[in-house]
Structures are given as structure tokens and as C-alpha cells.
């Protein structure tokens, strides 16, 4: 491919530079906050409230418990990036009741098992961002991040081009993880429990 810039008079906006650009206009919805809840009210503006009522394939839900559910992040840091969310629309970890907090922990542990079973990562990042100032993209509805990590999974793209290369489509990740979830939670008699222990 010829990378010689055309003559200046063909570019009224200025002289082309040497930076290569990967155009991702679909991210403007995320950047603009169009899918984020404007305040603390639950409902159709909150993607997690909306996702809990949609069918699992459409909403990219991997597993459901009594008080919480596990969904793929639409804007993942890594392939298999999961979010563990309470059904109830609460913003603060301290607002969870004991049953919700217990199941959120159990679902997080099972998410790690399912990811380990299906993707064989070398490690994990776990965490919650409480409030917009702490980096919460959707501050109004609590969610726990479970991010699988591999040696060498971070390259120059996020730093130089603010771009991540994702090797698997989200729908394929959902199918793979839902199957792994069923395998790691199957009891001795073959029955599945979403929050089974080790």
C-alpha cells in the first residue's frame, strides 16, 4: 500500500500525518454515555436492569442465580471479561443485603472456575469501581469485574492506538462460557447449581 501523502492542495483540512488510525465509530455510544443510566433510577435506561429481563443469548448472560447474574462486558478489556451484577438496582456494595453479597461472591468464584476451565488464563483481575470518580462506567448499578489475564496479553495497541484486538466474538464467548459454567457447577448427580462451591 502506498503511504505517500497526496499533495497538500488536495487536503483542505491540513497535511496528513504519519499516524495510522483504526476507526471504531460504534464506540461513540459508549463514549457519549447513551447507554448509561442518567441517575439512580432502575429501568430501561440501565443496561444491567434491561439485560436481566432479556433472553440470555441477546443479553449475553452467561449464568443466573437467585439474586445475581453474570454477563459478558460489551466493552471487554480481555476476551471472556465477565460482570457479576445483582438483579436489584443498587450503586454501593454496602447496599447489598447478606443474601445478595453472599451470592455475588459465590458467582464471582464460579465465574473464575468457568473461565479457568474454558480459557486457561494465567491469572485474573477482580474488582469494583464505586462511583464515577473511581472509574465506574455505569455507577448506578453495582457490578464486579472478572477479567482473565494471560502472559503477554497486553501489547502496544492499547497504549499507542487505544485499541484492543479481541480474538473471539461476544456471542461465541457467551456460548463457550455458558457451557463451561454448566460443567463446573454440575453436582455429583449431574444436577447444576449456579453457585456451587469448590
67 tagged catalytic = no
Per mean pLDDT, which range of 89-93, 126-130, 152-156, 167-171 is the poorest? Answer: 152-156
Q: Which band of pLDDT confidence, cut at 50, 70 and 90, is reported for residue 75?
A: confident
Sheet holding 82-86, edge to edge: 61-64, 68-72, 82-86, 144-149, 123-127
**CA-to-CA distance for 138 and 131, rounded, in angstroms?**
8
Torsional sign, CA 120, 121, 124, 128? negative
Residues 6+ apart with CB under 8 A from 183: 114, 117
Closest by alpha carbon to 48, among 59, 39, 40? 59
Question: Per-residue pLDDT averaged across 152-178, rounded?
Answer: 72
Closest by alpha carbon to 81, among 175, 182, 173, 194? 173
Query: Given 67, 89, 141, 143, which residue is catalytic?
Result: 143
**CA-to-CA distance for 165 and 159, rounded, in angstroms?**
12
pLDDT, one tens digit per residue, over 15-72 is 667 666 666 665 665 556 555 555 555 566 788 888 777 899 999 999 999 999 999 9
* Backbone dihedral angles phi then psi of residue 185, each to the nearest 5 degrees: -105, 0
Provide the 3-class DSSP secondary structure of residue 26: helix
**CA-to-CA distance for 156 and 32, rounded, in angstroms?**
25
Q: What is the mean pLDDT of the chain?
A: 79
DSSP letter assigned to residue 93:
G
Strands (E) in 42-196, as ranges, are 61-64, 68-72, 82-86, 123-127, 144-149
Question: Residue 160 above 50 pLDDT?
Answer: no
pLDDT, one tens digit per residue, over 3-20 is 555 555 555 566 667 666
Helix axes 98-119, 170-185, angle to 10 degrees: 110
Residue pair 77/164 in contact (Cβ under 8 Å)? The answer is: yes
CA dihedral 21, 74, 88, 66 (to 10 degrees): -160
Torsional sign, CA 90, 96, 97, 103? positive
Amino acid at each position: 500500500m502506498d503511504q505517500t501523502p497526496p499533495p497538500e492542495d488536495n487536503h483542505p483540512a491540513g497535511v496528513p500525518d504519519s499516524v495510522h488510525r483504526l476507526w471504531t465509530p460504534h464506540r461513540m455510544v459508549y463514549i457519549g454515555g447513551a447507554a448509561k443510566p442518567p441517575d439512580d433510577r432502575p429501568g430501561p435506561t440501565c443496561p444491567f436492569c434491561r439485560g436481566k429481563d432479556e433472553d440470555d443469548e441477546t443479553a449475553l448472560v452467561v449464568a443466573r442465580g437467585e439474586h445475581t447474574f453474570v454477563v459478558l462486558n460489551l466493552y471487554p478489556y480481555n476476551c471472556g471479561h465477565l460482570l457479576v451484577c445483582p438483579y436489584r438496582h443498587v450503586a454501593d456494595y454496602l447496599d447489598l443485603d447478606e443474601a445478595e453479597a453472599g451470592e455475588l461472591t459465590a458467582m464471582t468464584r464460579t465465574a473464575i472456575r468457568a473461565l479457568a476451565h474454558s480459557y486457561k488464563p494465567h491469572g485474573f483481575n477482580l474488582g469494583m469501581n464505586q462511583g464515577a470518580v473511581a472509574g465506574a462506567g455505569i455507577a448506578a448499578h453495582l457490578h464486579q469485574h472478572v477479567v482473565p489475564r494471560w502472559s503477554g496479553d497486553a501489547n502496544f495497541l492499547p497504549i499507542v492506538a487505544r485499541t484492543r484486538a479481541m480474538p473471539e466474538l461476544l456471542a461465541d464467548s457467551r456460548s463457550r462460557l455458558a457451557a463451561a459454567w454448566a460443567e463446573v457447577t454440575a453436582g455429583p448427580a449431574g444436577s447444576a447449581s449456579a453457585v456451587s462451591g469448590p
